[in-house]
Amino acid sequence: MWFYLSEQERFNDFNNEGALIWHETNIPYAIWGPESTRSLSLKYYPSEALKHNGTLYAHVFFARSGYPPDPSDPEYQPLAAFGRTHPVVVYLPKSKTDKRKSLLGNSEDSKKGEVVSQVVDDSQADSKDDGPVEWISYWKPNVTINLVDDFTKYPHNAVPPNIAPYLNVEPTSGNYFPTISFNEFWLLRDKLIALNETVEELTLNLEVGPISMTKWQIFMQIDQSFQVHRSYGSMIEGEADELKRVFLEGNPYLLVITMVVSMLHSVFDFLAFKNDIQFWNKNKSMEGLSAKSVVVSFISQLIVFLYLLDNDTSWMILGSSGVGCCIEFWKIGKAMHIEIDRSGRIPMLRFRDRDSYAGNKTKEYDDLAMKYLSYVLFLLVACSAVYSLKYERHKSWYSWILSSLTSCVYMFGFIMMCPQLFINYKLKSVAHLPWRQMTYKFLNTIIDDLFAFVIKMPLLHRLSVFRDDLIFLIYIYQRWVYPVDRSRVNEFGFGGEDDQASASEVPAVKEEEKKTN
- The pLDDT of residue 492: 43
- The pLDDT of residue 202: 92
- The pLDDT of residue 274: 77
Report whether 337 contacts 351 (CB < 8 A): yes
The neighbouring-strand residues paired with 3 are 22, 60
- The pLDDT of residue 375: 76
Report whether 161 contacts 220 (CB < 8 A): no
Q: What contacts 85, CB < 8 A, 6 or more positions away?
A: 9, 10, 11, 57, 58, 59, 60
Mean pLDDT of 4-16: 90
- The pLDDT of residue 122: 47
136-167: per-residue pLDDT in tens?
A: 899 999 999 999 998 989 888 888 888 888 88
- The pLDDT of residue 362: 63
What phi and psi values does residue 135 have, to the nearest 5 degrees?
A: -105, 135
54-85: per-residue pLDDT in tens?
A: 899 999 999 998 899 999 999 999 899 999 99
- The pLDDT of residue 343: 77
The neighbouring-strand residues paired with 369 are none
SS3 state at 42: strand
Report whether 87 contacts 54 (CB < 8 A): no
The structure's pTM equals 0.60
Other C-beta atoms within 10 Å of 272: how many?
A: 20
Burial class (CB in 10 A: 0-12, 13-18, 19+), 136: middle
In this prediction, residue 514 has a pLDDT band, given cuts at 50, 70 and 90, of very low
383-419: per-residue pLDDT in tens?
A: 878 887 888 777 778 888 877 777 777 655 556 666 6
217-242: per-residue pLDDT in tens?
A: 999 988 888 888 777 766 666 777 77
Q: What contacts 397, CB < 8 A, 6 or more positions away?
A: 103
In this prediction, residue 24 has a pLDDT band, given cuts at 50, 70 and 90, of very high
Q: How far is CA 216 from CA 189, 213, 219, 226, 451, in A?
A: 20, 5, 5, 16, 33
- The pLDDT of residue 505: 46
